[in-house]
Copies of this chain bind each other. A is one copy, B any other.
């Protein structure tokens, strides 16, 4: 079963905290919130602006940093994902 996001949305999967520490990337937060490093697992076709499609720039497999409190969480086949707009992705990490 697959999720196909609409418009300029992307589906990301948060990386495990352990995995995150190994990668050396941790997001600081006053309340020790959930880590905000994630991997892109699906991208939408893009947003239509003035009648022209502006494709999503992110690719499946990109490691990304996201804004806090962005997106909606979903659970598919027992796995948790977050769906959010591409503009809520802050940066790619390599």
Nearest residue, chain B, Cβ from A79: B24
Report the separation of the CA atoms of residues A92 and B7 in the bound assembly, to the nearest whole angstrom. 11
Q: Is the interface of A mostly helix, strand, loop or mixed?
A: strand
Docked-complex contact A93 and B24, CB < 8 angstroms: no
Q: Interface size on A (CB < 8 Å)? A: 46
Report the separation of the CA atoms of residues A37 and B10 in the bound assembly, to the nearest whole angstrom. 18
Collect the chain B residues with CB atoms within 8 Å of residue A87's CB: 7
Return the CB mask of A40-65 against B: 1 if under 8 Å, else 0. Answer: 00101000111110100100000001
Collect the chain B residues with CB atoms within 8 Å of residue A36's CB: 72, 74
Sorted nearest first, the 9 A-B pairs with minimum C-beta distance are: A24-B77, A5-B91, A26-B75, A83-B90, A4-B92, A3-B91, A28-B73, A25-B76, A28-B75
